[in-house]
Amino acid sequence: MYSSLFFGNALDAAFSLLLLGKKRNPTEEELDQLLAQTPEDVFLAAMRQGKNDLGEPVDLPFCLDADYYFSDFDASLLGKKPLQLLRTEFPDLDGSFPAFWDECKAQIKDKRPLNDEDKRIYNYMNWLSLVEKGKLMIAAYKRDIIPTIEEVLEIQKQITLPNETGDLITGYIDFKCVFKDEPGVVYVCDNKTSSSRYGADSVQKSEQLATYCEHEGVKTAAYVVVLKEVYKKEPRLRTQVVKGVVTEETFEKTFDQFTKMMYDVESGKFDKNESSCYSYGRPCPYYGLCKYNNPEGLVKK
């Protein structure tokens, strides 16, 4: 259970609530949502309680099945309150938390597994760091993104597109909106968190946005990006809104690749992309199965 999944879900919930405040005619249910909780409350609730690969509820702060990336941790984010929580939970490590995290990192890089108690502490430290980073991301979204939007039309809209053989592409559009600097122009938007800035042509090349635009009958799309790097000076987190026009060529390429993928699934033949086995600083979850035909660690659903 990777941190990117539950952290991303928690941020999506917070961003969606912020966007809901820009809807011109919210329903009664949506108004109740706006009054019931703040975006920060929604984020924290989603970060505390999640689900494992079997759909069972888990307590995320101390979950041993959670896997974190080294980039999740930033010692500078462990201010007074997080450190107090750590000292309360683990008084024997008082004053040596960053050093302990570094030792765990070295052990993981050497492919030596942590024992349960060490992993419990290590995971909690990563979780606290992500909570603080998430708060900064929500503040950045509120500060930089929300003021640029004139009106939000839809949020988290599910879409389904069939190909020529009847197979379905299903996805969720994060939101559709009109920006203040382009009155009347509808944009299909996707929220992203990223370690690096998106290129100016990223929308034109996006197969994901091409699919969404085809479904909605528009050509204009945008990536709304909150960058993960934490700066010492304000603003501590930076953002981007990358706009573009999706081309017909990108859409056709998307459906061609989807059709090929479905054929590969049905035939049981796949092209292995071995250059990406360690793309996120650790082996792909399917590395053992792909490389050695060993399903250990995978859950059959």
CB-CB contact of 136 with 236 (8 Å): yes
Q: Which residues are CB-neighbours of 5 under 8 A, at least 6 positions away?
A: none
Lowest mean pLDDT among 37-41, 47-51, 119-123, 186-190: 47-51
Q: Which residue has the higher pLDDT, 35 or 162?
A: 35
The CA distance from 250 to 210, in Å, is 6
pLDDT tier for residue 94 given thresholds of 50, 70 and 90: low
The CA distance from 85 to 11, in Å, is 22
* DSSP string for residues in 33-72: HHHH--HHHHHHHHHHEEE-TTS-EEEGGG-TT-B--GGG
DSSP annotation of 26: -
pLDDT at 47 over 60: yes
Helix (H) or strand (E) holding 5: helix 3-20
Q: Which residues are CB-neighbours of 278 under 8 A, at least 6 positions away?
A: 284
DSSP annotation of 217: T
The tens digit of pLDDT for each residue in 206-251 reads 988 998 998 899 999 999 999 999 988 888 899 999 999 988 787 7
Q: Write down the residue that tokens 């204009």 correspond to.
A: 220
What's the pLDDT at 219? Answer: 93
Q: Which residues are CB-neighbours of 296 under 8 A, at least 6 positions away?
A: 288
The CA distance from 153 to 97, in Å, is 46
The one-letter code for the residue type at 225 is: V
CB-CB contact of 20 with 112 (8 Å): no
pLDDT at 280 over 60: no
The tens digit of pLDDT for each residue in 133-147 reads 999 999 999 999 999
All structural domains of the chain: 3-144 (no CATH), 148-257 (3.90.320.10), 271-301 (no CATH)
Q: What are phi and psi of 78, to 5 degrees?
A: -85, 80
Q: Write down the residue that tokens 């609730």 correspond to.
A: 45
What's the pLDDT at 25? Answer: 86
What's the pLDDT at 276? Answer: 73
- Between the two ends of the chain, the Cα-to-Cα distance in Å is 14
What's the pLDDT at 244? Answer: 95
**How is residue 225 written in tokens?**
């990006």
pLDDT tier for residue 281 given thresholds of 50, 70 and 90: low
CA distances to 79, 91, 122, 125 from 99, rounded to whole Å, are: 16, 15, 11, 12
Percent of the chain with pLDDT over 90: 50
Neighbours of 225 (CB within 10 A): 21
Rounded to the nearest integer, the mean pLDDT of the chain is 88
Q: Which residues are CB-neighbours of 46 under 8 A, at least 6 positions away?
A: 6, 9, 10, 13, 14
Pick from 159, 141, 297: which is nearest to 228 by CA?
141
pTM for the whole structure: 0.84
pLDDT at 61 over 90: yes
The CA distance from 60 to 43, in Å, is 13
The CA distance from 249 to 31, in Å, is 41
What's the pLDDT at 279? Answer: 60
